[in-house]
Amino acid sequence: MQIQRCEVGLTVDDSLMRLYVAEPAVPGQYPAILFYSDIYQLGGPILRLADRLAGYGYVVAAPEIFHRLEPIGTVIEPNDLGRLRGNDRAGRTAIADYDADAVAALAWLQGCETVAPGQIATLGFCIGGHLACRAALNPGVKAAVCCYPTGIHSGKLGRDRADTLERLGEISARLLLIFGEHDPHVPPQGRETILQALATASIDHKTLTYAANHTFMRDDGYRYDPAATDAAWVEITTFLASLGA
């Protein structure tokens, strides 16, 4: 499906948050995805994933997660210095700020004329996987896809400790969690902690683990795994296809 793109600016707590929006070019109403990047913000690999998802028939809105600390339009390079910078920005952002951004972005989607009523999901990678899960705490989110989500098991997300694990019982959305077997940031014990919490909270969820590393869906790094990415993509699109059911 051919897509079109635009930029939207939302003011959250006196800070301008940019949303990159990709959606089908054919007029109509479509399910929506609040789409979270990793710590490098909206660079080429993330935008390619957002565009690809939009081509399946979704309104995809991707916020700049560090808009309070970085100039609008900033892309952090995925190198050693960029990793330090991205982790620094993540650690300087309050959990309440991440939550406020989710509320603002979801409100925008709910008021968007091209979004089908009641059909909103979240999706994210790495820190964005955690943010996608946390955004699902908001009523109205029907599904969440969390790709190698960091910090859910440990509470590490921002300047203060995130209580996402303890609040999983508040989620009414269906969850799809995707992990890499060789991911040092979400080790086996971390995955088990998350799965036990989901079971205790009786959350409707599906978990997939691939023989891959962390951030294996980024197509610009040494950990990129095309086969695992393609397999995960089939699962993601199948999972999201029932959003309007």
CA distance 151 to 161: 9
CA distance 232 to 242: 16
For 45, phi then psi, to 5°, come to -60, -40
Catalytic residue among 67, 130, 185, 214: 214
Which amino acid would we find at residue 5? Answer: R
- 62 in Cβ contact with 7 (< 8 Å): no
- Which pair of tokens denotes residue 153? 């098991």
> Does the annotation count 214 as an active-site position?
yes
In order of 26, 93, 127, the CA distances from 97 in angstroms are: 35, 7, 14
User: CB atoms < 10 A from the CB of 13, how many?
Assistant: 12
Catalytic residue among 38, 97, 112, 126: 126
- 30 in Cβ contact with 23 (< 8 Å): yes
Catalytic residue among 38, 97, 101, 183: 183
> Does the annotation count 130 as an active-site position?
no
Catalytic site positions: 126, 183, 214
